[in-house]
Amino acid sequence: DVKVTQSSRYLVKRTGEKVFLECVQDMDHENMFWYRQDPGLGLRLIYFSYDVKMKEKGDIPEGYSVSREKKERFSLILESASTNQTSMYLCASRDKGAADTQYFGPGTRLTVL
């Protein structure tokens, strides 16, 4: 089974802090994604990566950055957390030969006070 793990299930940070959300997948997938999930808005794509050291902006990249130094790990960075970044963050991975199926991690619920 494909496994996508995220470093924390729940996280509480203060405004202005730098926040790292880590995601690791164990199936050698090329493609990795970060979404945020908000009630009534579904999932919105923040950033994605097609390969190591490659990154592309999604629909809502403002206030976020990403890092992909190794194929299995994709990090989401909030340089200076703000209260409007309180949300559920979901990581996903996908094999480049299986465009239809993304595998999701369990999510990190981030609260910014």
Interaction between residue 42 and another protein (CB under 8 A): yes
Distance CA 59, CA 64 (A): 11
Q: Which is nearer to another protein, 21 or 92 (CB)?
A: 92
Distance CA 14, CA 113 (A): 5
Site string for another protein, 82-111 (x = CB under 8 A): --------x-x------xxxx-xxxx----
**Binding another protein by CB under 8 A: which of 43, 60, 73, 95?**
43
Distance CA 57, CA 53 (A): 13
Q: Which is nearer to another protein, 26 or 79 (CB)?
A: 26
Site residues (CB under 8 A) for another protein, limited to 11-40: 37, 40
Q: Which is nearer to another protein, 19 or 92 (CB)?
A: 92
Would you give the end-to-end CA distance of the chain in angstroms?
A: 37
Query: Which phi and psi angles does 78 have, rounded to 5°?
Result: -105, 105
CA atoms within 13 A on the CB side of 90: 15
Q: Report the interface residues with another protein, using CB under 8 A.
A: 4, 37, 40-45, 90, 92, 99-102, 104-107
